[in-house]
């Protein structure tokens, strides 16, 4: 059980923050009782070990209760992105054979008719409170290779794929994360990334394992995020680099709070620029900014600190954790290529996708599709995605390389580069740029900067200026929306110069 040694503690485990004015502190004892009540409710409803249930909700303590309560009963939770279309949600529920869905009122409309829904936040007969069956519950003892959770990841193309993660692997993962990150009951770990994404799930598992306190925001909001850091004196904050760039952009708010409590800033799911790392160090002076590599299928965090405590280079994604093997394959030399990993947390397989499983999982090694390099000391660095790379006039371009170049310009706060079709070149890079507050630059300025400081084929053929980059459901950048804006020729807050 995730927090068995603290199950009777009256200390706060999660502070649910549905609003600034109405925080809901939940103790370890209360959380344990709620998880038991949920497990009993599942059994009373006829669910058996191995059955699937869907969770369709923004962050709230009930999400955690359903997640952990299901695992106690041997039922497999299927967290679902609330920003998906109804068709995609229907596909996930059908593919997983989920027989029950826990959903907030706003998300119920996504659930197809005929599937039973328990409404989170409702006190009615179909509400969560009525579903619970209060009392003790003896947790199911799972087989090591039994499925603990079935996450869905879309990758870059195609329909979402169900990732089967085992109880043994998840147990290994939570313990290794809590230990190597030095997490203790003195930590306060702020969670704003969605709980259906690995970033937030890892934070919950790591925090509860170590006895930390977890302030939980329904979703990411720059204002509420910064306010929570100061109010709860958070020691660990985490998210994707886009979230942190948005935080740093609000220097007016950061100057109003005390950030000295923050000891770690963790960023994953995308490359972090050297400029962003420097700015984080400036505004969180006692914190170590860490670039964290994670992939749902691969552990989900296979790389971490140096085993002997040697300093990690600022842009490195780390070295293999104890129990993890890593290698680079298919590159021009042994220290560059596709990252492959093997550890107890690697996926059991893709649900109902034997061909995809055989392609990505070979002799226990998971082929990540991420291109990395390794330095002389053994630290790994993220270069780009296999499927992000595109060819421009016969030259291979990794978008992150162009982004890193553009972010060296003194006026650029954040850059995103994507390929667009071109009649002569096949595809060419377009850049979407957020400028620093008060800074000015034109499209031509940035084109000339890229030409002067990098290979000509990499320079962006178009540059679009935005107030901020749009976020999708997982708080990653919404690239489809950017493509729609380009196609329509209409951008919010866009001009040739800012």
CA 203 centroid distance within chain: 10
How many C-beta neighbours within 10 Å does residue 399 have? 22
Condensed to tens digits (0 to 9), the pLDDT of residues 42-78 reads 999 999 999 999 999 999 999 999 999 999 999 999 9
Least confident of 223-227, 420-424, 439-443, 472-476: 472-476
Q: Which CATH architecture has domain 390-488?
A: 2-Layer Sandwich (3.30)
| Dist CA 373 CA 384 (whole Å) | 10
Highest mean pLDDT among 413-417, 451-455, 467-471: 413-417
Is 120 within 8 Å of 103 (Cβ atoms)?
A: yes
Compute the average pLDDT of residues 172-197: 92
**Is the whole model's pTM more than 0.75, yes or no?**
yes
- d(C-alpha 406, C-alpha 446), whole Å: 7
pLDDT digits (tens, 9 = 90+) for 296-324: 999 888 999 998 889 999 889 999 988 89
Q: What does the alpha-carbon distance between residue 336 and residue 321 come to, in Å, rounded to a whole number?
A: 19
Average pLDDT, integer, range 348-355: 96
Three-state DSSP state, 311? coil
User: What is 293-385's CATH topology?
Assistant: Luciferase; domain 3 (2.30.38)
Helical (H) or strand (E) element with 433: strand 426-435
CATH class of the domain comprising 4-219: alpha beta
Instruction: Map 181-237 to HEC letters.
Output: CCCCCCCEECECCCCCCHHHHHHHHHHHHHCCEEEECCCCCHHHHHHHHHHHCCCEE
Q: How far apart are the first and last CA of the chain?
A: 53
Whether the per-residue pLDDT at 84 is higher than 90: the answer is no
Distance separating alpha carbons of residues 91 and 237, to the nearest angstrom? 34
**What does the pLDDT average to over 400-416?**
92
Beta-ladder partners of 237: 265
Burial (0-12, 13-18, 19+ Cβ within 10 Å), 454:
middle
Per-domain residue ranges for the chain? 4-219, 293-385, 390-488
Residue 144, pLDDT score: 86
Q: Which helix (H) or strand (E) element contains residue 177?
A: helix 167-180
Quote the CA–CA distance of 81 and 83 in Å, as a whole number.
Answer: 5
Stretch 343-364: mean pLDDT, rounded? Answer: 95
């Amino acid at each position: 059980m995730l927090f068995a040694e603290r199950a009777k503690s009256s200390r706060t485990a999660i502070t649910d923050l549905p609003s600034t004015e109405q925080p809901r502190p939940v103790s370890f004892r209360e959380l344990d009782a709620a998880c038991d009540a949920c497990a009993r409710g599942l059994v009373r409803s006829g669910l058996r070990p191995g059955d699937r249930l869907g969770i369709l909700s923004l962050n709230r303590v009930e999400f955690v209760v359903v997640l952990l309560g299901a695992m106690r009963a041997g039922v497999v939770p299927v967290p679902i992105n609330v920003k998906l279309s109804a068709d995609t949600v229907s596909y996930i529920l059908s593919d997983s054979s989920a027989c029950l869905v826990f959903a907030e009122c706003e998300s119920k409309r996504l659930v197809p008719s005929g599937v039973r829904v328990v409404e989170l936040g409702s006190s009615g007969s179909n509400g969560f409170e009525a579903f619970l069956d209060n009392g003790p519950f003896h947790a199911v003892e799972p087989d090591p290779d039994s499925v603990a959770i079935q996450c869905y990841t879309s990758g870059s193309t195609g329909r979402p794929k169900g990732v089967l993660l085992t109880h043994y692997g998840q147990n290994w993962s939570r313990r290794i994360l809590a230990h190597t990150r030095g997490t203790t009951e003195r930590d306060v770990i702020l969670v704003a990334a969605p709980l259906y994404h690995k970033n937030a799930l890892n934070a919950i598992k790591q925090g509860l394992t170590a006895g930390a306190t977890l302030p939980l925001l329904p979703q990411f909001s720059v204002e509420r995020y910064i306010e929570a850091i100061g109010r709860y004196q958070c020691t660990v904050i985490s998210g994707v680099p886009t979230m942190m760039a948005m935080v740093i952009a609000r220097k007016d708010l950061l100057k109003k709070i005390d950030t000295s409590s923050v000891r770690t800033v963790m960023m994953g799911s995308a490359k972090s620029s050297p400029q962003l790392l420097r700015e984080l160090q400036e505004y969180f002076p006692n914190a170590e900014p860490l670039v964290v590599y994670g992939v749902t299928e691969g552990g989900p965090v296979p790389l971490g600190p140096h085993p002997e405590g040697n300093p990690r280079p600022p842009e490195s994604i780390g070295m293999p954790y104890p129990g993890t093997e890593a290698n680079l394959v298919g590159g021009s030399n042994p220290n560059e290529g596709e990252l492959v990993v093997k550890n107890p947390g690697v996926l059991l397989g893709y649900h109902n996708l034997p061909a995809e499983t055989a392609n990505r999982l070979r002799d226990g090694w998971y082929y990540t599709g991420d291109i990395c390099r390794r330095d002389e000391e053994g630290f790994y660095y993220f270069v780009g995605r296999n499927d992000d790379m595109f060819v421009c006039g016969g030259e291979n371009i990794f978008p992150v390389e162009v982004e890193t170049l553009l972010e060296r310009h003194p006026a650029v706060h954040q850059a995103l580069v994507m390929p667009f079709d071109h009649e002569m070149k096949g595809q060419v890079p377009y850049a979407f740029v957020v400028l620093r507050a008060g800074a000015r630059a034109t499209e031509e300025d940035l084109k000339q900067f890229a030409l002067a400081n990098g290979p000509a084929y990499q320079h962006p053929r178009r540059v679009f200026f935005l107030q901020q980059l749009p976020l999708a459901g997982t708080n990653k950048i919404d690239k489809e929306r950017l493509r729609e804006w380009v196609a329509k020729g209409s951008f919010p807050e866009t001009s040739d110069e800012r």
